[in-house]
Amino acid sequence: MTAAFARRSPAAVAAALATIYLVWGSTYLAIRVTDRTMPPLLMSSVRFLIAGTALYAFASRGRAGPTLRQWGSAAIVGAALLLIGNGGVAWAETRIESGLAALMVAIIPLWVALMDRAFFGRRLSQVAIAGLVVGFAGVALLVRPGGGGDVVAMLALVGTTAAWAGGSLYARGAALPESPLLSASMQMLTAGIFLGIAGLATGETSGIHADTFSTKPLIAFVYLVIVGSLIAFSAYAWLLKNVRISIVSTYAFVNPVVAVALGTVFLNESIGWTTVIAGAAIVIAVVSIVTARAPAQRPVAGEVPEPLKAAA
């Protein structure tokens, strides 16, 4: 068995997928709890700085230091995924329920498919095209005034999901370290700095007081650092390097189910029929796009086959 195959063994892929399926579904609940008392951007900054520092210390042992080019690529990916993507979710959850936020974030594979077609020329099947139409129709149903949530927060999530999709596609071929753990740590460190600057610039320090560090938000924060960042984000970074992004994207139609269930049980969140219909449209669209068989691509001179790209 080759080392490359071992890294991509079915058991390892299944374990990594299960991690992001369940853990990232639960982080919406944890973020909602921290948002009760903690400023969202500064909370996210400290979260990623702690997790990034710990992971970097572990992953960099016995390795040459990352190059400036690698730090630059990590900063771009970190800004897209964690500053705009995750920071945007943390901010949005101060205004909307966790389950609703999760349904919006589920549109990431729609953006991935659209950007893959627009920027990389990857053809879409008729099923995938229909999925895009249905999915974005579901988004329009949620975002419209009276759709069940704060319109500004919902529109912000449309932008943050686009940033996450773009960052994930960029990471597929970016000059990142070969070690997924080292790459993830660098992304968290750079994003932590960016989030700290954003939090200070928006005056979030005024929201820090004695009640900020009450028991439940602190427990949720520790969960986000250890499980949501150190474990789940490392699994995501590994998956991006070892399997096709269409497979990685499947987490997007599992996370909302987990998030809605947890929000209902622990936070007494209610989901109206409009949200149910829109959410069903989004999930059906994501399943259609992720599982659709892609039409044959026109060969491009010198292009590396997709399986080899994914394992690079």
- Residue 310 structure tokens: 């994914």
**Nearest residue to 113 via CA among 184, 73, 161:** 161
Residue 1 lies in a domain: no
- How far is it, in rounded angstroms, from Cα 47 to Cα 41? 10
- Transcribe 34-100 into DSSP letters: HTTTS-HHHHHHHHHHHHHHHHHHHHTTTSPPPPHHHHHHHHHHHIIIIIIIIHHHHHHTTTS-HHH
Range of the domain at 159: 8-204+215-295+304-311
Residue 118 lies in a domain: yes
157 pLDDT more than 70: yes
The Cα-based distances of 133 to 31, 113, 140, 221, 304 in angstroms read 30, 12, 11, 37, 30
**Of 45-54, 253-262, 287-296, which gets the smallest average pLDDT?**
287-296
3 pLDDT more than 70: no
**What mean pLDDT comes out for the span 289-301?**
60
Residue 3 lies in a domain: no
Residue 290 lies in a domain: yes
144 pLDDT more than 90: no
Give residue for tokens 């990034």: 52
Residue 210 lies in a domain: no
242 versus 296: the higher-pLDDT residue is 242
- Specify which of 156-160, 272-276, 298-302 reaches the highest per-range mean pLDDT: 156-160
Residue 88 lies in a domain: yes
What single letter denotes the amino acid at residue 191? A
Domain count, the chain: 1
- Mean of the per-residue pLDDT values for the chain? 85
**What mean pLDDT comes out for the span 218-225?**
96
Residue 2 lies in a domain: no
% of residues, the chain, pLDDT over 70: 89
Residue 171 lies in a domain: yes
